Structure 1
């Protein structure tokens, strides 16, 4: 997908979360370790919820912000999901799955942090700040929840 506007960026982010949720759910059924299956199911549900929340941004965001071009995005390295279902999470250990998911969210945070520092239009700045807050909050929640799962 070519990202030209902030609306495109939000849609692209939504699609990344959706793809990740689908892949995690698929891999949960194939993983041999029960604890990793629980983790993958939890992460799949979390990513599906993230997809729904990001979709609401598309529906509720200021039209002016959504139509603003994202020139600086082109200079940022695209987010890599690292894994597809061709190289599934089903083959990774509990800790490796956590590492991959944390890295994915850290890339999203880095992207939004970069864009927030460059946003010139107040509506766009507000939109990017809200997306950044969402990603940071959810990343912290994932770290806490997966830490608790390690203790089980």
Structure 2
């Protein structure tokens, strides 16, 4: 998807989380290791939840900020995480899955921070800051929950 405006960025982020949720869910049913399968199921539900949260930003975004062009500020390939669902996660151990999914979130966080630094109008800064805050909060929650799974 080509990201030209803040609205495109929000839609792109929502689709990334949704695609990841579907892939993780698909791979959960294929994984041979029970712990990894449970982790994949949890991660899939968490990503689906984030997809819904991001969809809320699409509905609530200030139209002036949402129509602001960002293509000059976006890297051409902003996320390097494995995005094709080809049973990739079904072949990984739980630690590798956790590392890759957390890295996915860290890349989105880094992108939002870059956009905040380059934002020229306060409405854009505020909107992207809200996205950043949500992404950071959800990533922390994800890491805490995974840590609890490891304690079991």
Normalised by the size of structure 1, how large is the TM-score? 0.95
Q: Deviations over 1:15-44 (max 9, x none)?
A: 000000000000000001111111100000
For the pair 1:139 / 2:131, whether they are aligned, the reply is: no
**SS in structure 2 opposite 1:120?**
coil
Gapped regions of structure 1 (runs ≥ 5):
none
Other-structure match for 1:2: 2
Runs of 4+ with >4 A deviation: none
Other-structure match for 1:52: 52
Give 1:59 deviation, angstroms: 0.5
Contact 2:74 2:115 in 1 (8 A): no
Give 1:88 deviation, angstroms: 1.8
Normalised by the size of structure 2, how large is the TM-score? 0.95
Structure 1 residues 10 and 119: alpha-carbon distance in aligned structure 2, compared to 1, 3 A threshold: same
**SS in structure 1 opposite 2:74?**
helix
Give distance in 2, aligned partners of 1:30 and 1:75. 34
Give distance in 1, aligned partners of 2:94 and 2:27. 12
Q: Deviations over 1:41-72 (max 9, x none)?
A: 00000000000000010000100011000034
Q: What is the aligned length?
A: 152
Other-structure match for 2:104: 104
Other-structure match for 1:30: 30
Give distance in 1, aligned partners of 2:118 and 2:74. 13
Other-structure match for 2:80: 80
Give 1:7 deviation, angstroms: 0.2
Other-structure match for 2:113: 113
Q: Deviations over 1:85-115 (max 9, x none)?
A: 2142011001000000011000000000010
